[in-house]
Structure 1
């Protein structure tokens, strides 16, 4: 038989009123009052209520409801952090859109949707730099393979040269084009304006078509290399032309044609320059002639 004083036996608690009657000096705490406790303590101490917390909460709620973020200076890390916040499927969609341009589709309006990123352009440019350097070394090795006087030495300087050319094209050309569009917008108020980051994003993604073309340049056939250059130029140039044509359509026809020709000319100059410098035909290595002494010129040794 279980003891009546069993400490493990379940007991029902009395009502709160009975407990308070037993001890009138007990302090009760309500869960609902936990949020108001710091404010009551501040009022009891003579401090005014904390209005900053309410303001911050109100600002955060307003930002979440409106979907907008506060403007931050461009020299801060938070400013550039927003351009790397992108999903993988968005990057894949933009790469496909840059490789397969379609008439009437503006790359900025269709794929960027006023949300440019730097994640895709950065990795596209980096991949293209290493693809050019590695493919150039492999092509040079295959062309000179089997020559008795050829000794393969990897040319690491091609990486730095390719990086300088690619990143300069992907940043300085958009910077100049952005300034030119701003200047023309002051002349013609009806022109469409693009931000600098949108132009950088377009130029970065337009270089993605050159990555498979550069890989084909390993094969030492000039006709294949030039065919791949023409295809890449047509696709990349179409993306740039379809994107910036709406921004220049209301401008003077001569100015519009000059700017578009300049865009296409710089694009072709980059492709042809990389092919000529990194994949040019190697010079024939002259064979080393070893002189053979004649029998009549040999000196007689005295006995």
Structure 2
């Protein structure tokens, strides 16, 4: 058996560069030559385009269920300047165009502004109502305590008003239009406001009650009623001004206008009488009871 020198195996071997370049060149040329010959031998070959895998189309976000959170995302997609503009227009409608409701609110109603205004009004009434209660009991020999029930009572009243009154108005506008013809009904349906747009409109109409609730703490009876008349008239007039094209299509135009103004006056009067005003008879009755209970 031949012995192998392990030292030679571990050493690097030198090869001629000409031999290496020639071998590599021959191999590359042979490969290209064989590919060219195959393509020329079959000239009627078919070119196959690369297949693009199409991803399944996702369903649009607008087709969500009514009970899902994704359904209400579009009603909170609103800018700050739009909310401020709608608050100003709910108090000063002459600052915007006459068709502002049809152009801005009806096509893009939001719930962010109405919810923010409702929550702010709830806590404003709660704080201002307790301040008014404290001012009414300053000259009495009784320990004054903060009334936390004002928060729950005001929240119930405001939430019910924002949701139930627009719902009733939407139903009234839907079922009291003039059935003169198919074209007329289609025109009325296009001009009648949607339920969400009415919720948005009524929510913004309560913005004037936030500063008025602060002024109601002034314990002057005629001044409190003056703020009631002003707040009810301004907010109700803005609603009638924006909904006038739809209200004219109803056969009960005068009744609907009277109901809109009357509900706003009742809301303002209820706020003032329940949270900010104490009748003089109850004050005198309390004074008589406190005087009888004093020790002689």
**TM-score, normalising length: structure 1:** 0.71
2:63 to 55, 60, 71: 71
Equivalent residue number for residue 34 of structure 2 = none
Q: Is the 2:99–2:242 Cα contact (8 Å) retained in structure 1?
A: yes
Equivalent residue number for residue 157 of structure 1 = 149
Matches within 5 A, 1:83-98: 83-98=75-90
Deviates more, 1:264-273 or 1:98-107: 98-107
Unaligned runs of 5+ in 2: 1-23, 29-48
Q: Is the 2:118–2:159 Cα contact (8 Å) retained in structure 1?
A: yes
Q: How many residue pairs end up in the alignment?
A: 238
Equivalent residue number for residue 213 of structure 1 = 212
* CA apart distance, 1:86: 0.7
Aligned partner of residue 172 in structure 2, secondary structure: helix
2:266 to 266, 269, 273: 269
| Aligned counterparts of 1:76 and 1:52: Cα–Cα separation in 2 | 26
Equivalent residue number for residue 138 of structure 2 = 145
**Deviations along 1:239-269, whole A, 9 cap, x unmatched?**
11012211021333xx111111111111111
Aligned partner of residue 208 in structure 1, secondary structure: helix
Q: Is the 1:95–1:208 Cα contact (8 Å) retained in structure 2?
A: yes
Aligned partner of residue 123 in structure 1, secondary structure: helix
| Aligned counterparts of 2:202 and 2:99: Cα–Cα separation in 1 | 13
Q: Is the 2:75–2:109 Cα contact (8 Å) retained in structure 1?
A: yes
Equivalent residue number for residue 159 of structure 2 = 167
1:288 to 268, 285, 291: 291
* CA apart distance, 1:23: 9.9
Q: 1:208 to 1:77 in 2, by over 3 A?
A: same
Deviates more, 1:179-188 or 1:83-92: 179-188
Q: 1:51 to 1:276 in 2, by over 3 A?
A: same
Aligned partner of residue 251 in structure 1, secondary structure: coil
Q: 1:70 to 1:110 in 2, by over 3 A?
A: closer
Equivalent residue number for residue 279 of structure 1 = 276
| Aligned counterparts of 1:23 and 1:159: Cα–Cα separation in 2 | 90
* CA apart distance, 1:143: 1.7
* CA apart distance, 1:136: 0.8
| Aligned counterparts of 2:178 and 2:53: Cα–Cα separation in 1 | 48
**TM-score, normalising length: structure 2:** 0.73
| Aligned counterparts of 1:22 and 1:229: Cα–Cα separation in 2 | 102
Q: Is the 1:175–1:196 Cα contact (8 Å) retained in structure 2?
A: yes
Q: Which one has the largest radius of gyration?
A: 2
Q: Please state if 1:127 is matched with 2:120.
A: yes
Q: 1:288 to 1:198 in 2, by over 3 A?
A: same
* CA apart distance, 1:106: 4.1
| Aligned counterparts of 1:75 and 1:210: Cα–Cα separation in 2 | 31
| Aligned counterparts of 1:159 and 1:121: Cα–Cα separation in 2 | 18
Unaligned runs of 5+ in 1: 1-19, 25-38, 44-48, 61-68, 293-303
